[in-house]
A and B are shown apart, each in its own frame.
Chain A
């Protein structure tokens, strides 16, 4: 077991943090009741109907956590001003938007991953922050980070929010920071929680002196700027522009054909690549771009905190910015922005329209994940289902508020 990160026996080696490894370990113990063969390390690409059954059921089983988290989130919504019919209540609409989220269904249950319960953890930590149970929220997020480190995308939002709204216990009347209300106790307790969780996760590997290996598996910067299938982010446009310019340059004889590297970015391989016309992009450059992109929302969160709702906006923006400018982003990462945005969409009409654009395009960008012929009707049907439902239900929810003054609609439950 301890030597797992070392083994490079196949292309699908472990590249998630230790908690996920422990989770798979527990699964393997259940798996042996289904089919012993799938546990053989050298049995690559093994699949039998029992294996399939077990894998699929394990995803469905873990989704129970996701359902619980959705329930907690729905509790945070207060729908006083809407009609009595069940299907028009914001709680109902939100639960359908989250539980039937096309992206999650496709990625988890067809393409196959375990994002359901991970998003459940994230939604649960958000719900806890709304319910002013900050320690729990922080703990859940720390655990989540050690399950899948992609959630680092939204870590700045958590950090700044907890620092600003939890460690500083009170604000001045105009909403700006009151330095004297800083609570060391809270800061220390938060730090302790994060430290303990990290120790639990990375401790064993630190003791075995394997930390560098773990980090190199978690952050594979050698994998190249873009994934094998490009995530629809800024660097995809950048690459496309580079390609177009190089073609034009070749035609107009500005470039020497011998200088152009042979490897192609669109070959579907995961590797490092140099750009021909535009300057090459390093991981540091992407980090700087991402930081610049999230700065405005972080500043807002620090200087003008608007409670949990402001935190949620900042979180969504962090996720989106990291998606747009990150290094080696997977197209599935768009879900990180879509799911929290769903929570905002049943709050205000403006958020709803942004959500609809984001979700429709985001989900459409996931289409290439299902490339088999039988998968085509499924993805079209599910996409139509979700899109039609989301547009029509949100439209029905907010049709009254279009006639009222701006801030009408559903208010978030403010427990303070």
Chain B
């Protein structure tokens, strides 16, 4: 494409922002005895390097599962092993069994940050660049601006390069999956998505839309011909990739079961810590976590989750389209986030990625959502002393979106893709003409609340009787915002077909 140099500049800006954020503190820095996610990743390198594969997921004298036991699928362990080999080459003390616990040094921090950067550079960033280049019906300048905004999304940068995780690997693979499937390379797309699921099991939030979209495609091609062939091929790819990833753990039944037990800790409860989902917010008023027994909680969250994502998924099976697929990814992931079991606040990134993908279609709402998603992680970021990078990256992201997409000029009903919805409502309520105005006011209220809460959390101390007041308020406000977005995205999906059908009737 022309203007490749501008895209290079955009990628370089993204990399510079990432590296400067990484100069800050990480999760659990200088906080013995448990430290944080950074120590967890280092510990996994230690475990995978020094112990045989059979002992990775089991409790033993060498591998204390209470101290950051592995709780991601095998490919994460393989990745840690690879990093451990490099660490051994540079400084074996970093991964020495037992003695390297709580190891912290400038050189080690540099090494760990570099591993994140390399993983990002190899997997996530090329996916974003390719995705933006493949967008249709958009000028080159808009594609580049789109790439800039996606690469500047603060949530992912702060969690990966600040708190310390490898989300860019799983999200990158998921993005390759979306790319493949949208461009009709279904097999490669499914392979990429299987890799994503096998890297972090949270990607299962995205599994249903993938399944429904591919199923819909098979139906469209006809189940008695090409469709069936496609279905079989996809099934083979999925099974093959799972087998390949889990090969060392399929040898014994107990191995497989133990890994599954580590991946899905059903006895850890409905939610842990403060997270911006329904159960935590509801818990403020009624302590359901303590009242209801464990299996009832499981069933309840299961039902709510599936009920909320059913409309979108059924729609996707019946009318598979690339646009519908992306929106369904958003609404499915959001439903899981809001209603599912044992959700962590970082899981909002699984919703943010699909929202980044629809940034070019509904810039105003997407920017709003991405700002709220970063805000919802505020308590976590403050704990890691990442206030300054959060504020700066959020401002940079906001300015980039405002200038690239002129979001404040795109708040009409049509721009928000709510035209068909409001036409339908106007059949019953003729005075329903103020939808975009309401949404603009809601945005203003939301932003003001977020800014105020941030200021209060930073400057004021919480009252003695309610030490978690500000975290709970942040989660509650974010949850309300997310509920609004859930309704909004579902409206877009459900009402999308009607406008399509009406247009066909007219033409």
Contact = CB atoms under 8 A, between A and B. Distances in A.
Interface stretch (A40-48, A319-327, A328-336, A376-384): A376-384
B113 to A, nearest CB: 8
A385 B110 contact: no
Nearest to A86: B141
Interface string B5-37: 110110011011001100100000000000000
A385 B16 contact: yes
A378 B8 contact: no
A261 interface: no
B107 interface: yes
A392 B5 contact: yes
Contacts of B106: 373-374
B23 A374 contact: yes
Contact of A373 (B8, B9, B20, B110): B110
B335 to A, nearest CB: 39
Given A373-B107, A374-B110, A392-B5, A384 B20 contact: no
Interface string B109-124: 0100000010000000
B16 A388 contact: no
Given A373-B107, A373-B110, A374-B23, A382 B5 contact: no
Nearest to B109: A374
Interface string A111-134: 000000000000000000000000
Contacts of B141: 85, 87
Nearest to A85: B141
B13 A385 contact: yes
Given A388-B5, A388-B8, A377 B19 contact: yes
Nearest to A96: B9
A385 B19 contact: no
Given A373-B110, A388-B12, A381 B19 contact: yes
Nearest to B113: A374
Given A373-B110, A374-B110, A381 B5 contact: no
Binding site of B, secondary structure by majority: helix, strand, loop or mixed? helix
A303 interface: no
A183 B117 CA distance: 65
Contacts of B6: 87, 392
Binding site of A, secondary structure by majority: helix, strand, loop or mixed? helix
A393 to B, nearest CB: 8
Interface in B63-122: 106-107, 110, 117
Interface in A353-385: 373-374, 377-378, 381-382, 384-385
B15 A381 contact: yes
A385 B20 contact: no
A384 B19 contact: no
Contacts of B15: 377, 381
A389 interface: yes
A242 to B, nearest CB: 39
Interface string A160-189: 000000000000000000000000000000
B495 to A, nearest CB: 36
Given A373-B107, A374-B110, A388-B5, A381 B12 contact: yes
A388 B9 contact: yes
A378 B23 CA distance: 10
Contacts of A374: 19, 23, 106, 110
Contacts of B20: 378
Contacts of B13: 385
Contacts of B23: 374
Contacts of A388: 5, 8-9, 12
B214 to A, nearest CB: 39
Contacts of A389: 5, 9
Nearest to A385: B12
Contacts of B9: 385, 388-389
Nearest to B13: A385
A385 B17 CA distance: 12
Q: Which of B8, B9, B110 has its CB near the most chain A CB atoms (within 10 A)?
A: B9
A100 to B, nearest CB: 10
A385 B19 CA distance: 14
Interface string A372-415: 01100110011011001101100000000000000000000000
A370 B141 CA distance: 34
Nearest to B22: A374
Contacts of B19: 374, 377-378, 381
12 contacts: A87-B6, A373-B107, A373-B110, A374-B19, A374-B110, A377-B117, A378-B20, A381-B16, A384-B12, A388-B9, A388-B12, A391-B5
Interface of B: 5-6, 8-9, 12-13, 15-16, 19-20, 23, 106-107, 110, 117, 141
Given A374-B19, A389-B9, 4 more contacts: A374-B106, A378-B19, A382-B16, A385-B16
Q: Lowest 4 A-B CB distances belong to which pairs?
A: A392-B5, A385-B12, A381-B16, A377-B19
